[in-house]
Protein backbone atom coordinates (compact mmCIF):
# COMPACT_ATOMS: atom_id res chain seq x y z
CA UNK A 1 0.00 0.00 0.00
CA UNK A 2 1.13 3.54 -0.79
CA UNK A 3 0.66 6.18 1.92
CA UNK A 4 1.35 9.92 1.88
CA UNK A 5 1.75 11.50 5.28
CA UNK A 6 1.81 15.31 5.62
CA UNK A 7 3.53 15.59 2.21
CA UNK A 8 4.35 18.85 0.51
CA UNK A 9 6.21 19.48 -2.72
CA UNK A 10 7.51 23.00 -3.26
CA UNK A 11 9.48 24.74 -6.00
CA UNK A 12 11.05 28.10 -5.14
CA UNK A 13 8.75 28.41 -2.14
CA UNK A 14 5.63 27.75 -4.20
CA UNK A 15 3.60 24.75 -3.05
CA UNK A 16 2.62 22.53 -6.01
CA UNK A 17 1.14 19.72 -3.94
CA UNK A 18 -0.01 19.21 -0.38
CA UNK A 19 -1.31 15.74 0.52
CA UNK A 20 -1.97 14.25 3.94
CA UNK A 21 -3.50 10.92 4.94
CA UNK A 22 -3.84 9.72 1.34
CA UNK A 23 -3.43 6.04 0.54
CA UNK A 24 -3.63 3.64 -2.41
CA UNK A 25 -3.76 -0.15 -2.25
CA UNK A 26 -3.37 -3.08 -4.59
CA UNK A 27 -6.30 -4.48 -6.52
CA UNK A 28 -8.00 -1.15 -7.31
CA UNK A 29 -7.86 1.31 -10.19
CA UNK A 30 -7.55 4.93 -9.01
CA UNK A 31 -8.27 7.87 -11.29
CA UNK A 32 -6.55 11.20 -10.54
CA UNK A 33 -8.71 14.07 -11.80
CA UNK A 34 -8.62 17.86 -11.76
CA UNK A 35 -7.57 20.93 -13.73
CA UNK A 36 -4.24 21.18 -15.52
CA UNK A 37 -1.76 22.22 -12.86
CA UNK A 38 -3.84 20.78 -10.02
CA UNK A 39 -1.01 18.48 -8.89
CA UNK A 40 -1.93 15.16 -10.55
CA UNK A 41 1.37 14.53 -12.32
CA UNK A 42 3.30 15.82 -9.31
CA UNK A 43 1.53 13.30 -7.09
CA UNK A 44 2.33 10.49 -9.51
CA UNK A 45 6.00 11.53 -9.66
CA UNK A 46 6.25 11.54 -5.85
CA UNK A 47 4.88 8.00 -5.77
CA UNK A 48 7.30 6.97 -8.54
CA UNK A 49 10.33 8.58 -6.80
CA UNK A 50 10.81 10.87 -9.78
CA UNK A 51 10.57 13.76 -7.32
CA UNK A 52 11.22 13.94 -3.60
CA UNK A 53 8.77 15.52 -1.14
CA UNK A 54 9.90 18.82 0.35
CA UNK A 55 8.54 17.62 3.69
CA UNK A 56 6.52 14.69 4.96
CA UNK A 57 6.87 11.13 3.79
CA UNK A 58 5.73 8.84 1.00
CA UNK A 59 5.67 5.20 2.12
CA UNK A 60 5.28 1.90 0.31
CA UNK A 61 4.31 -1.04 2.52
CA UNK A 62 5.23 0.97 5.61
CA UNK A 63 8.70 2.02 4.39
CA UNK A 64 9.73 5.37 3.00
CA UNK A 65 10.10 5.09 -0.77
CA UNK A 66 13.56 6.64 -0.39
CA UNK A 67 14.64 3.65 1.74
CA UNK A 68 14.01 1.15 -1.06
CA UNK A 69 16.86 0.06 -3.31
CA UNK A 70 16.38 0.95 -6.98
CA UNK A 71 15.85 -2.60 -8.24
CA UNK A 72 13.75 -3.56 -5.23
CA UNK A 73 11.51 -0.54 -5.78
CA UNK A 74 11.19 -1.29 -9.52
CA UNK A 75 10.01 -4.79 -8.67
CA UNK A 76 7.06 -3.20 -6.88
CA UNK A 77 6.35 0.00 -8.83
CA UNK A 78 6.31 0.64 -12.59
CA UNK A 79 5.91 4.19 -13.94
CA UNK A 80 4.88 5.33 -17.41
CA UNK A 81 5.46 9.09 -17.88
CA UNK A 82 3.24 11.37 -19.93
CA UNK A 83 5.91 11.89 -22.58
CA UNK A 84 7.26 8.50 -23.61
CA UNK A 85 10.97 8.09 -24.37
CA UNK A 86 11.98 7.14 -27.88
CA UNK A 87 12.26 3.52 -28.95
CA UNK A 88 14.18 3.96 -32.19
CA UNK A 89 15.53 0.80 -33.84
CA UNK A 90 13.91 -1.52 -31.29
CA UNK A 91 11.55 -4.38 -31.98
CA UNK A 92 8.50 -4.78 -29.81
CA UNK A 93 10.03 -7.78 -28.08
CA UNK A 94 13.23 -5.86 -27.33
CA UNK A 95 11.31 -2.97 -25.82
CA UNK A 96 9.14 -5.24 -23.66
CA UNK A 97 12.28 -7.08 -22.53
CA UNK A 98 13.60 -3.83 -21.01
CA UNK A 99 10.91 -4.31 -18.37
CA UNK A 100 12.89 -7.24 -16.96
CA UNK A 101 15.84 -5.09 -15.85
CA UNK A 102 15.01 -5.28 -12.08
CA UNK A 103 15.11 -9.08 -12.22
CA UNK A 104 18.16 -9.81 -14.35
CA UNK A 105 21.30 -11.29 -12.82
CA UNK A 106 24.64 -9.59 -12.31
CA UNK A 107 25.57 -10.03 -15.96
CA UNK A 108 22.24 -8.69 -17.16
CA UNK A 109 21.48 -11.72 -19.27
CA UNK A 110 17.93 -12.81 -20.03
CA UNK A 111 17.02 -16.09 -18.34
CA UNK A 112 14.31 -18.54 -19.33
CA UNK A 113 12.15 -16.95 -16.62
CA UNK A 114 12.71 -13.49 -18.12
CA UNK A 115 11.81 -14.67 -21.60
CA UNK A 116 8.70 -16.37 -20.24
CA UNK A 117 7.59 -13.15 -18.52
CA UNK A 118 8.11 -11.19 -21.76
CA UNK A 119 5.97 -13.71 -23.67
CA UNK A 120 3.32 -13.54 -20.95
CA UNK A 121 3.22 -9.71 -21.10
CA UNK A 122 2.85 -9.83 -24.89
CA UNK A 123 0.02 -12.34 -24.59
CA UNK A 124 -1.80 -10.35 -21.87
CA UNK A 125 -1.74 -7.18 -23.97
CA UNK A 126 -2.60 -8.98 -27.22
CA UNK A 127 0.63 -7.79 -28.83
CA UNK A 128 2.34 -11.15 -29.44
CA UNK A 129 1.68 -10.84 -33.18
CA UNK A 130 3.63 -7.55 -33.14
CA UNK A 131 6.69 -8.97 -31.36
CA UNK A 132 9.07 -8.74 -34.32
CA UNK A 133 7.74 -5.41 -35.64
CA UNK A 134 9.77 -2.24 -35.16
CA UNK A 135 8.19 -0.02 -32.54
CA UNK A 136 8.45 3.01 -34.84
CA UNK A 137 6.11 1.34 -37.35
CA UNK A 138 3.22 0.85 -34.91
CA UNK A 139 0.03 2.88 -34.64
CA UNK A 140 -0.65 4.96 -31.53
CA UNK A 141 -2.92 2.34 -30.02
CA UNK A 142 -0.46 -0.46 -30.71
CA UNK A 143 2.40 1.52 -29.14
CA UNK A 144 0.33 2.15 -26.02
CA UNK A 145 -0.29 -1.59 -25.60
CA UNK A 146 3.39 -2.35 -26.15
CA UNK A 147 4.50 0.12 -23.47
CA UNK A 148 1.91 -1.39 -21.14
CA UNK A 149 3.38 -4.81 -21.95
CA UNK A 150 6.81 -3.52 -20.90
CA UNK A 151 5.37 -2.46 -17.54
CA UNK A 152 3.70 -5.85 -17.08
CA UNK A 153 6.97 -7.63 -17.89
CA UNK A 154 8.48 -5.64 -15.02
CA UNK A 155 6.33 -7.71 -12.67
CA UNK A 156 5.44 -4.77 -10.40
CA UNK A 157 2.47 -4.62 -8.06
CA UNK A 158 1.66 -0.96 -8.81
CA UNK A 159 1.33 0.70 -12.22
CA UNK A 160 1.55 4.51 -12.32
CA UNK A 161 0.26 5.87 -15.63
CA UNK A 162 0.41 9.59 -16.50
CA UNK A 163 -2.13 10.47 -19.22
CA UNK A 164 -1.71 7.25 -21.23
CA UNK A 165 -4.60 8.20 -23.52
CA UNK A 166 -3.41 11.64 -24.63
CA UNK A 167 -2.44 10.60 -28.19
CA UNK A 168 -5.22 8.06 -28.79
CA UNK A 169 -8.53 8.28 -30.61
CA UNK A 170 -11.73 7.33 -28.77
CA UNK A 171 -11.70 3.68 -29.91
CA UNK A 172 -8.13 3.15 -28.70
CA UNK A 173 -8.89 5.00 -25.45
CA UNK A 174 -11.71 2.59 -24.69
CA UNK A 175 -9.60 -0.44 -25.67
CA UNK A 176 -6.66 0.69 -23.52
CA UNK A 177 -8.74 1.46 -20.43
CA UNK A 178 -10.69 -1.77 -20.75
CA UNK A 179 -7.41 -3.68 -20.90
CA UNK A 180 -5.99 -1.84 -17.86
CA UNK A 181 -9.19 -2.56 -15.95
CA UNK A 182 -9.12 -6.24 -16.93
CA UNK A 183 -5.46 -6.67 -15.93
CA UNK A 184 -5.93 -4.91 -12.59
CA UNK A 185 -8.75 -7.29 -11.75
CA UNK A 186 -7.14 -10.50 -12.98
CA UNK A 187 -3.63 -9.81 -11.62
CA UNK A 188 -4.59 -7.89 -8.46
CA UNK A 189 -2.56 -4.85 -9.49
CA UNK A 190 -2.90 -1.38 -8.04
CA UNK A 191 -3.24 1.15 -10.87
CA UNK A 192 -3.04 4.91 -10.40
CA UNK A 193 -3.84 6.76 -13.60
CA UNK A 194 -4.08 10.43 -14.57
CA UNK A 195 -7.05 11.06 -16.87
CA UNK A 196 -8.84 14.15 -18.13
CA UNK A 197 -12.10 12.62 -19.35
CA UNK A 198 -14.27 12.40 -16.25
CA UNK A 199 -16.68 9.98 -17.94
CA UNK A 200 -13.84 7.59 -18.78
CA UNK A 201 -12.72 7.81 -15.16
CA UNK A 202 -16.23 7.05 -13.97
CA UNK A 203 -16.53 4.04 -16.25
CA UNK A 204 -13.17 2.35 -15.60
CA UNK A 205 -11.95 3.41 -12.13
CA UNK A 206 -12.86 2.05 -8.70
CA UNK A 207 -11.85 5.19 -6.84
CA UNK A 208 -11.48 8.85 -7.84
CA UNK A 209 -9.01 11.28 -6.28
CA UNK A 210 -9.79 14.93 -7.08
CA UNK A 211 -7.15 17.65 -6.77
CA UNK A 212 -7.45 21.40 -7.12
CA UNK A 213 -4.73 23.97 -6.63
CA UNK A 214 -2.33 21.30 -5.41
CA UNK A 215 -4.62 20.10 -2.63
CA UNK A 216 -6.85 17.09 -2.17
CA UNK A 217 -10.42 18.22 -2.78
CA UNK A 218 -12.33 14.95 -2.61
CA UNK A 219 -11.98 11.20 -2.97
CA UNK A 220 -14.42 8.32 -3.24
CA UNK A 221 -16.17 6.02 -5.67
CA UNK A 222 -17.53 7.34 -8.97
CA UNK A 223 -21.05 7.30 -7.53
CA UNK A 224 -19.85 9.36 -4.55
CA UNK A 225 -17.91 11.99 -6.50
CA UNK A 226 -19.91 12.22 -9.70
CA UNK A 227 -22.35 14.81 -8.38
CA UNK A 228 -23.26 18.21 -9.80
CA UNK A 229 -21.87 20.23 -6.90
CA UNK A 230 -18.70 18.15 -6.51
CA UNK A 231 -17.81 18.34 -10.19
CA UNK A 232 -18.39 22.10 -10.21
CA UNK A 233 -16.01 22.43 -7.23
CA UNK A 234 -13.39 20.33 -9.05
CA UNK A 235 -13.58 21.87 -12.52
CA UNK A 236 -15.22 25.25 -11.94
CA UNK A 237 -18.00 24.67 -14.47
CA UNK A 238 -21.57 23.48 -14.09
CA UNK A 239 -22.28 19.89 -15.07
CA UNK A 240 -25.34 17.67 -14.95
CA UNK A 241 -24.91 14.06 -13.87
CA UNK A 242 -27.12 11.23 -15.07
CA UNK A 243 -27.10 7.44 -15.15
CA UNK A 244 -25.73 5.73 -18.24
CA UNK A 245 -28.60 3.83 -19.90
CA UNK A 246 -26.54 0.64 -20.31
CA UNK A 247 -25.20 0.01 -16.81
CA UNK A 248 -26.19 3.01 -14.66
CA UNK A 249 -22.67 4.24 -14.04
CA UNK A 250 -22.73 8.05 -13.63
CA UNK A 251 -21.90 10.28 -16.60
CA UNK A 252 -21.57 14.07 -16.73
CA UNK A 253 -22.44 16.63 -19.39
CA UNK A 254 -21.59 20.31 -19.38
CA UNK A 255 -24.63 22.53 -18.87
Of the candidates 119, 152, 185, which is a domain's last residue? 152
Average pLDDT, the chain: 91
Residues 16, 106: one domain? no
Residue 229 domain flag: no
Backbone torsions φ then ψ of 250, nearest 5 degrees: -70, 140
CB 131 within 8 A of CB 91: yes
For residue 91, what is the DSSP state? B
CATH number at residue 30: 3.40.50.300
Question: Please, which pLDDT band fits residue 106 given cuts at 50, 70 and 90?
Answer: low
How far from 87 is each of 146, 183, 187, CA to CA, in Å? 11, 24, 27
Q: What is the pLDDT of residue 68?
A: 96
Residues 120, 26: one domain? no
Of the candidates 101, 131, 152, which is a domain's last residue? 152
Q: What is the pLDDT of residue 238?
A: 92
Q: Report the distance separating Cα 191 and Cα 173, nearest Å.
A: 16
Please tell me which residue, 64 or 172, carries the higher pLDDT value.
64
CB 152 within 8 A of CB 116: no
Question: Please, which pLDDT band fits residue 107 given cuts at 50, 70 and 90?
Answer: low
Q: Would the pLDDT of 144 be above 90?
A: no
Query: How many domains does the chain divide into?
Result: 2
Q: What is the pLDDT of residue 83?
A: 82
Q: Which domain holds residue 127?
A: 91-152
Q: What is the pLDDT of residue 173?
A: 86
Residue pLDDT, tens place only, 150-204: 999 999 999 999 988 877 788 888 888 998 899 899 999 999 999 989 999 999 9
Residue pLDDT, tens place only, 76-97: 999 999 887 778 889 999 999 9
Residue 24 domain flag: yes
Q: At what angle do helices 140-153 and 112-124 cross, to 10 degrees?
A: 140
Lowest mean pLDDT among 38-47, 133-142, 188-197: 133-142
Residues 62, 160: one domain? yes
Of the candidates 152, 187, 203, which is a domain's last residue? 152
Q: Report the distance separating Cα 102 and Cα 206, nearest Å.
A: 29
Q: Would the pLDDT of 255 be above 90?
A: no
Strand-pair partners of 33: 210
Residues 39, 138: one domain? no
Residues 170, 105: one domain? no
Residues 19, 110: one domain? no
**pTM of the model as a whole:** 0.92
Q: What is the pLDDT of residue 105?
A: 64
Amino acid sequence: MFELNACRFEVNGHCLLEADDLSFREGLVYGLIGHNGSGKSTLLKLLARQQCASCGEVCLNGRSVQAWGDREFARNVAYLPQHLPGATSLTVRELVAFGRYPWRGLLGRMTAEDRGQVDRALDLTHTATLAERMVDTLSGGEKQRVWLAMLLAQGSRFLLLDEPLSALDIAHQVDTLALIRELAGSLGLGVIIVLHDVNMVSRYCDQLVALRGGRLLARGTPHELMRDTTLEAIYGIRMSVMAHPADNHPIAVVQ
